[in-house]
């Protein structure tokens, strides 16, 4: 068993959902770290062009800096989940800080978006043991991971990876920014995500995949 598999197994014990058991061709497209002034609007334009809905895991800090973009995400019919307030590494954080990061981010996102936030994705995927009980306590009981996350910097290579690895029930992760990196590099990653979906979405649709929000998948009786 490699370290990646072992980490995913531990996260499942912590109640993290990495994919949805599904006999149909439904998949989820998700974005971390936004909303971003560099790419969110372009991403929304592409999603709208193809009538695809996605789930955006936003930080409270970015939502405060770009409140209109958060509202644009929701008004376009997409779903918003929390990605913490300031993007710390939870495995290196005391429990009171984890609680504040989760609670504060949910409050900020709901105040700006006027929509309930029930999903949480930990920064770096570091779902420490206390995340689930805190999530249940504050009203974010659904912990969402992913099973598809391209590493390539080239948009074409990243899109090819998604097309090759995506299977029914997959949760795809892209980054609408990079909360842990300097501004210019974050902007580059943001723009790359927009380029990736412009390539990948039409090809995934051609392969018969159907895009759903995480909330839509959770609502299925057999999730």
161 within domain boundaries: no
167 within domain boundaries: no
Quick one: CA dihedral 111, 113, 116, 119, positive or negative?
Answer: negative
93 within domain boundaries: yes
223 within domain boundaries: no
Domain count within the chain? 1
172 within domain boundaries: no
Residue-number span of the structural domain to which 78 is assigned: 3-154+179-218
Output the pLDDT for position 5. 43
166 within domain boundaries: no
Output the pLDDT for position 2. 42
pTM of structure: 0.91
**CATH code (residue 33):** 3.20.20.370
**Which two tokens mark 112?**
């700006």
Output the pLDDT for position 55. 98
Q: What is the enclosing helix (H) or strand (E) of 126?
A: none
Output the pLDDT for position 91. 86
Output the pLDDT for position 11. 56
DSSP 3-state of 200? helix
Task: Identify the bridge partners of residue 55 per DSSP, sorted by sequence position.
Answer: 30, 79
Cα 106 from Cα 68, distance rounded (Å): 17
94 within domain boundaries: yes
DSSP 3-state of 83? coil
88 within domain boundaries: yes
Residues of the chain falling short of pLDDT 50: 1-7
Cα 96 from Cα 52, distance rounded (Å): 38
């Amino acid at each position: 068993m490699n370290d990646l598999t072992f980490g995913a197994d531990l996260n499942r014990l912590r109640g993290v959902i990495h994919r949805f058991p599904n006999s149909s061709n439904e998949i989820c497209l998700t974005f971390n770290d936004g909303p971003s002034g560099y790419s969110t609007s372009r991403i929304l334009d592409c999603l709208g062009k193809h009538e695809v809905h996605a789930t955006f895991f936003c930080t409270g800090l970015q939502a405060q800096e770009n409140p209109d973009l958060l509202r644009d995400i929701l008004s376009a019919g997409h779903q918003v989940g929390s990605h913490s307030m300031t993007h710390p590494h939870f495995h290196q954080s005391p429990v009171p800080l984890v609680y504040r990061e989760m609670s504060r981010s949910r409050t900020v996102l709901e105040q700006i978006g006027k929509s309930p936030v029930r999903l949480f994705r930990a920064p770096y995927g570091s779902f420490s043991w206390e995340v689930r009980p805190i999530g249940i306590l504050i009203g974010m009981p659904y912990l969402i991971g992913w099973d598809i996350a391209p590493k390539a910097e080239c948009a074409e290579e990243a899109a090819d990876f998604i097309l090759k690895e995506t299977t029914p029930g997959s949760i795809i992760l892209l980054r609408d920014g990079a909360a842990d990196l300097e501004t210019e590099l974050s902007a580059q990653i943001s723009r790359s995500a927009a380029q990736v979906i412009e390539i990948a979405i039409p090809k995934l649709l051609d392969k018969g995949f159907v895009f759903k929000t995480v909330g839509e998948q959770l609502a299925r009786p057999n999730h």
